[in-house]
Amino acid sequence: MIPSAHNAIDVAALVRRAGKAYPRKTAIVWEDGSRTYGDLLARIDALAGQMREMGVREGERVGLALANGPVFVEGYLAAAQLGAIAVPLNPRQSEREHDHILGDSEPRVLIADGAAARTLRRAKRLTASRLLTDGVEMPNGTDYEATVQQGFDTRPPRPAIDLNAPVAILYTSGTTGQPKGVVRSQFAGAMIVALRQSAMFIGPETVLLASTPMFHAAGHEFMLLQTLAAGGTVISRRSFDAGAIVADVDTHRATHVFFVPTMSAAITAAMTQAGTAWPSVRLWMSAASPLPDWVRDAVLTAAPAARLWNCYGLTEGGTLTYMRDDEIGKHPGTCVGLPGPGMEVRVVDTEGDDAPLGEVGEIVCRSPESMSGYWHDSALTAQAVRNGWVHSGDLGFLDADGFLTLSGRLKDVVITGGENVYAAEVEGFLLEDRAVRDAAVIGVPHPHWGEAVVAVVVPSEPGADLSATLDAHAKDGLAPAKRPKRYVMKATLPRNSMGKIVKDDLRDELAALFD
């Protein structure tokens, strides 16, 4: 059992300790300004004091419907300092999605900005929360900045923190149903900071470019909190703008960047146009979806001084594996490397026993980073966490050296003519062809096969039809059951805010393809 109360190693305390060591150093830079560590800590204290006046106590929820920037950081850390629970929300999600999360988490206080205002105004559950608004007027809202200024006259609360208690509820993207609330404990949050600092060489000299959405676990848990807890500097961008990001990295001499592959593709093109090779960047991280060979090569060409790593993780389990630069290209395209610090990874069969090396099974993990469970859903928690192991719902296999290769999702298996076809394997095969920019493989109802393997392809050359070429390629490289029965060309694939393909949209669109 973790010690029940502590005031030195919780998430907020780790950042506070760094801030006291570097009070005049820049903590965060954004489009409209910058904040030193001294200013940041003072504002977190002021906000925490005001939230305490509003009735926020240990275990109460604080919603954060915010775009990237200092307000998200202040809101998250003020909640953590109180022993309250931060609930990040996508500010651009629909009214229905807002209502679901607000109803499920019941935040005492909700901090929102203009990005969230349009849909939040119509959300039925909004009236249950005290609303603080940043840069926008809303009915029943109180100005966020005025609230912070009032808090400078209050004594900052410093309750002892229960490390077993939640620090955040992180709602999954909901691509396969209603979003689920993943509970992260204070202890897990602190371990995420420490373990990933170690894994990714994050220290006081780190300058992180933060452009992925902070409301995602990857946006704030992956490198942002680690950088602040080390005394480094965070460059924040509210939205993705490849040209602006290229300029930001050079202006502020960023050392660490993180992009999903679709972002990396746009960034490398913008770098070429700007004539820069980003000499300051030491580590370029990729995650959230497989890294196609052509994107990998574009990054290595555009930023030859940077180390390119690809990693694999899930909100429930943490960052499971890292594929480091000296291993990329030596393994299959969907190989995601070796377990990270503190992480145990297994591949199990349907009975929960270890699958033989090279055989596909479900990926399970165990780590100090792992979730405590799902918010208010003990049945789903029992299904996902068994004997201390988080079941990912992802399929893969391990080789003799311990490298993990992904094969797809449990629900992403196409059963065609009685044979199992793993979508990720076929996608990886198609992406080996440089004429393919993007690809998704799905199962579509078929009168004879039950399901047919269908490849949805984005050609590198807009408007090209690669059906005949890819079919010939598949006949040479794939077993008959794995060969797509149909190729559908599209200009783009539907993706969520973290770059993951929303295959349910494709399945709905193509459901009648073989009628």
Domain ranges of the chain: 1-186, 417-509
Same fold yes or no, 1-186 and 417-509: no
Q: How confident is the model at residue 7 (pLDDT cuts 50, 70, 90)?
A: low
pLDDT at 195 over 90: yes
- Distance between CA 184 and CA 196 in Å, rounded? 16
Looking at the predicted structure, is the pLDDT value of residue 398 above 90?
yes
Instruction: Copy the structure tokens of residue 302.
Output: 């555009």
pTM score: 0.84
CATH architecture of 1-186: 3-Layer(aba) Sandwich (3.40)
Query: With pLDDT > 90 as the criterion, what percentage of the chain qualifies?
Result: 69
Residues 86-101: what's their mean pLDDT? Answer: 88
The residue ranking higher by pLDDT, 261 or 5, is 261
Angle between helices 144-151 and 37-53 (to 10 degrees): 100
- Rounded to an integer, the average pLDDT of 71-94 is 94
CA distance 81 to 453: 50
The pLDDT value recorded for residue 177 is 56
What is the chain's mean pLDDT, rounded?
Answer: 91
Measured between alpha carbons, how far is 175 from 98 in angstroms, rounded to an integer?
15
Q: Residue 135 and residue 131: Cα distance in Å, rounded?
A: 13
Q: How many residues does the chain have?
A: 515
- Residue 336's Cα: distance from chain center in Å? 16
**Which pLDDT belongs to residue 412?**
77
225-243 confidence digits (pLDDT tens):
999 999 999 999 998 899 9
pLDDT over 80 at 215, yes or no: yes
pLDDT at 515: 85
221 to each of 198, 330, 368, 455, how far by Cα in Å? 14, 29, 14, 34
Residue 442 three-state SS: strand
Tens digit of pLDDT for each residue in 329-380? Answer: 788 778 899 999 999 999 999 899 999 999 999 999 999 999 999 999 999 9
Q: pLDDT tens-digit profile of 96-144? A: 888 889 999 999 999 999 888 878 887 777 766 788 988 888 878 899 9
User: Are 325 and 307 contacting, i.e. CB atoms less than 8 angstroms apart?
Assistant: yes
Give the chain's largest Cα–Cα span. 73
Report whether pLDDT(175) > 50: no
CA distance 17 to 29: 20
Class of domain 417-509: alpha beta
User: What is the average pLDDT across 4-25?
Assistant: 87
pLDDT value of residue 498:
62
Q: Is the pLDDT of residue 4 over 70?
A: no
Query: Rounded distance, CA 213 to CA 441, Å?
Result: 27
